[in-house]
Structure formats: C-alpha cells, structure tokens
Amino acid sequence: MERLDAIIEELIEKAKNILRHSYAPYSGIHVSSAIYTDKGNIYLGVNVENSSYGLTICAERSAIASMVSNGERKPLIVAIITDYPQPIPPCGACRQVIAEFNEDTVIVMYSIKSKVKQIVRLSEIFKSPFKL
C-alpha cells in the first residue's frame, strides 16, 4: 500500500508540473494527466482545446497516445489533475479509451485549488465499456 501511495503522489507531482502546458482558451479549465503502466513507466499528457470543440483532446487521451506510441498497452493508474475547484473525472470518451487497455485502471482525480483527491477504479464508474 505504501508503494501505491508513493506512485500516486509521484503521478500527481509530475502532472502538476506540466499543467501549465495545457491549452484551454475556451473552457479555461486546465487538465493534465500522468499514467503509470505495468512496466513501471510514466506517460504524461495535457488537454488541447480547439475552437471546433469536438476536436479537443483530453489530457487522459493525450497521455494514452504517448503510452501507445512508446509501445505500451497497460495503464495501471491514471492521474487527472486540474486547476478547477474540485477534482474532475474522465469524460465518457476517455473512460472508453482507458477501458480499451485496462478496465480496472485506478483513477486518481486531484484539484490543485482545493487539494481534494479522489481515487476510484475505472470499473466502478464505467460499468459497461463498448467491446467488439
């Protein structure tokens, strides 16, 4: 358990360090993500908004793309950091993308404003991912 706590704190710190790179001129909500994989590696991402809102890339999917680009396929922990007053969960699209690789991923949500941290398993908040 101590090891898990240490990994979670490391993910939060790494994601906090890149939060300033988030591009959020439309919502004003900055989000970063850090993913810890079964190989012990960490991948980072930030949200990148677009004036055509549907083209926005969430931080979690940005980090997942980095993970996959580096040849990995199994996220164990996904940390989502925001400057919003409360932690925010992954959106539906991000839940589906994370579930593609590991339905039981630990999701850590943290707000730098309120210092509130929430931890759940993806399977608790996403009961029925789409599967072929």
Q: Check 9, 60, 72, 103 and give the catalytic one.
A: 60
Q: Which two tokens stand for residue 67?
A: 């993970």
Please, which residues have CB within 8 angstroms of residue 105's CB and are 6 or more apart in sequence?
75, 76, 77, 78, 98, 99, 121, 122
The answer to whether 81 and 33 have CB atoms below 8 angstroms apart is yes
Please check the confidence at residue 2 and state whether its pLDDT lies above 90.
no
Amino acid 100: pLDDT: 98
Smallest CA-to-CA distance from 16 within 97, 129, 84, 112 is with: 112
Does the reported pTM lie above 0.95? yes
Mean pLDDT of 110-125: 98
Q: Is 13 part of the annotated catalytic residue set?
A: no
Please check the confidence at residue 1 and state whether its pLDDT lies above 80.
no
Q: Which domains are seen in the chain, by residue range?
A: 2-121 (3.40.140.10)
End-to-end CA distance of the chain: 35
The answer to whether 106 and 37 have CB atoms below 8 angstroms apart is no
Q: Which two tokens stand for residue 88?
A: 């925010």
Please check the confidence at residue 93 and state whether its pLDDT lies above 90.
yes
